[in-house]
Amino acid sequence: MAKIRVEGNKMIFERRDELTVFEPYGPDCIRCRSTKNSRLSEESWTLLPAKEASDIQLEGDEKKMTLRNGMMSVTVDVGTPWYGGIITFYRKDAAILRTKYEGDYTCRNIHTEGDHYQVKVIFESNPGEHLYGLGQEQEDFFDRQGASCNLQHYNTKSAVPVIYSSLGYGFFWNNPAPGRCETTKNHIMWVADSAYQADYLVYGGETPADVMKIYCDLTGYAPHFPEWAAGFWQSRLRYESQEDVLQVAREYKRRGVPIDAIVIDYFHWTEQGEWKFDPKYWPDPEGMCRELKEMGIQPVVSIWPTINPASENYSEMNDRNMLVRTENGQYGTFDFYGQQTFIDVTNPATREFVWDKVKQNYFDKGIHNFWLDEAEPEVHPQQYSNLKLYAGNGAQTAMLYPYYYSKLFYDGLKAAGEEDIILLTRAAYPGTQRFGSLVWNGDIGSTFESLRMSVKSGLSMAMSGIPWWNSDIGGFHSGDTRSEYFRELIVRWAQFGVFSPVMRFHGARIRTPEQVDRFPGIKERTGGENEVWSFGEENYEILSNLIRLRERLKPYICHYMELASGEGKPIMRPMFFDYYQDPVCYELDDQYMFGGEILFAPITEQGCTVRKVYLPEGSWQDVNTKEIHQGGCWITCQAPIDRFIAFVKAGSEVIHIFETVAR
């Protein structure tokens, strides 16, 4: 007979084929684990140990019981043998989540193998609720209500299984198995395709900032943000030699355009899986790094986790099981200049081995900042059950890859004495933020549509607990630097870049007819030029002034990055984050706050020079006209190509930064 019992602070519900345990997990947070197996797993994945919670109460009997933890509570009602085991979560005694009966138990389990099952947890939907988060993908909406999301990573998509609700609670699905989340009108459903148990946490706060802080307590805070990283990053696909890099750096300095970082992209190496410069094109990396740093420019180098039998490291890593293996078939999981597999970053031995190579070939030569590409990893086809990792079968663990990829470099850099660590990374998972992961949204198109979606991606990542985020300014794929379309796009995207956590030019531009192959036979040749002077003289003046503005904003940016590190507040934040009592702010997905004092409204449509902006309560000063407007209303703003739309809270000293904005 089903019943509820108490063990310490835990509330336990058990019946045939179902064992469910509820427990306080830090203040105002409740953790639920449920399995078809006879005992729970104590695996926490990337979840940190709980902080102490003191305001805990248990009340009820074996038929109906409630666990209270601060403002959060959960009630289990045993009900009847055919319809029961209903779970209801409350925030301040208002119901926010109630499990929904869809013909089976509250935790539905379909057997896959051994003690692993397809796990489903289903809740009723709440009319009028807004839901945000779930990481990033190229989609043209911010509010996830009425949508579905596959929980898997691929190029342009990071699945971060956490949501924030307009009802004032957060939900973290603590399971790295690929699956899906449906936040539709008829239910909210979380699915792990192969898992030992369901594991999720529900938590609440008075404000969105309170809820975000609890999530960061659960998964970690971003570290100290390097001051140089708040400036301008230059990159393109790709610089073919160290002389190319130095010539570009010298030209920026000659022109007096601020530059803080320059990125060395892929195939600077001898072979995939060798992690070292090709001496034919990079004969003196130490000298290159020395000259760059003398100019005040940080070099950033791309690392890939791919490897194949041509690599000098393959045999040893293969024999020591340091590579992602397959349950069936040979090693190849990614065809890119031959069949590749990926290093198994979930294996501590792999992390130690690869860092030793990276330290010897990069760090000791002056490269202390890394770009972790292919971080999903990019496996084709995505047959997760065929992947065998140290952490377990891919069907149960595949989403952990970017977490351990970032951890490899963070731990290595820390051990080498580095303090300010930043890692440009192409995928994320809960906890990657604590390893200095700066996520970008992958190889997106060079279109206004991609720009518009990038704004929403950045806001989604902010509400997924990833405060360090950026996009390729101008988009990645193609981009004709001679076309009027792209020249307009690059300006509008650069304006967005000024008000992103990191401002970085990158992209595979179309080669121009006058470009010559300086290194015939090179494996991966460069694309078209992508420097600030590559888009016409009129654009050069506009873009240069935007970069100079970014330079003046660095102290402001670093201040708000410190708040992210200490309190979990992202610098790029949706309007409702600060104005959570204004219902209009929950509907806004194309304007946002950049820190607590600047409101930015990007232009994301071709040919657009006018748009409406919503000003919440308070007084707001237009950075262009210096006119002060009273909030609580919509206004229409003008934005010719050399002007962006931004407002500053009236009375804020930050307005002085904009006094020299070029018109």
- Structure tokens belonging to residue 125: 């939907």
Element (H, E) at 86: strand 84-91
Residue with tokens 């950075």: 623
The single residue of 265, 373, 374, 589 carrying the catalytic annotation is 373
Rounded-to-integer distance, Cα 201 and Cα 171, Å: 6
Backbone angles phi, psi at 512, to 5 degrees: -90, 155
Structure tokens given for 102:
């869809």
CA–CA gap between residue 245 and residue 299 (Å, rounded): 9
Tell me how far apart the alpha carbons of residues 608 and 373 are, in angstroms, rounded to a whole number: 34
* Residue indicated by tokens 């949508």: 147
**φ, ψ for residue 338 (rounded to 5)?**
100, 165
443 assigned to active site: yes
Which residues lie across from 473 on neighbouring strands? 505
The catalytically annotated residue of 376, 378, 531, 589 is 376
Quote the CA–CA distance of 51 and 57 in Å, as a whole number.
17
Q: Please give the full DSSP string across 178-192, using - where no structure is assigned.
A: -EEEEE-SS-EEEEE
Phi-psi region of 344 (alpha: psi -120 to 50; beta: other; left: phi over 0): beta
Largest CA distance in the chain: 81
The C-alpha atoms of residue 352 and residue 346 are separated, in whole angstroms, by: 11
Contact 392, 329 (CB under 8 A): no
Residue entry with tokens 């300014």? 473
SS3 165: strand
What H or E segment, with its residue span, contains residue 620? strand 619-622
Q: Which of 139, 244, 420, 443 is catalytic?
A: 443
Burial class (CB in 10 A: 0-12, 13-18, 19+), 640: exposed
SS3 of residue 175 by DSSP: coil
259 by DSSP, 3-state: which? Answer: coil
Contact 584, 576 (CB under 8 A): no
Q: Is residue 373 among the annotated active site residues?
A: yes
Whether residue 49 is preceded by a cis peptide bond, meaning omega within 30 degrees of 0, is no
Collapse the DSSP code of 486 into the 3-class scheme (helix H, G, I; strand E, B; otherwise coil) and give the result: helix
Please tell me the distance from the alpha carbon of residue 526 to that of residue 10, in angstroms, as a whole number: 59
Measured from the Cβ of residue 578, the count of other Cβ atoms closer than 10 Å reads 18
Residue whose tokens read 């949204």: 441
Question: Residue 42, by phi and psi: left (phi above 0), alpha (psi -120 to 50) or beta?
Answer: alpha
Helix (H) or strand (E) holding 566: helix 537-567
DSSP category for residue 84? E
Helices 537-567 and 208-219, interaxial angle, to 10°? 80
Q: Which of 610, 564, 570, 621 is nearest to 592 (CA)?
A: 570
In the β-sheet with 387-389, what is the strand arrangement from edge to edge? 325-326, 387-389, 392-393
Q: How far apart are CA 242 and CA 284, in angstroms?
A: 8
- Asked if 618 and 581 count as a contact pair (C-beta separation under 8 A), the reply is no
The residues that are catalytic are: 373, 376, 443
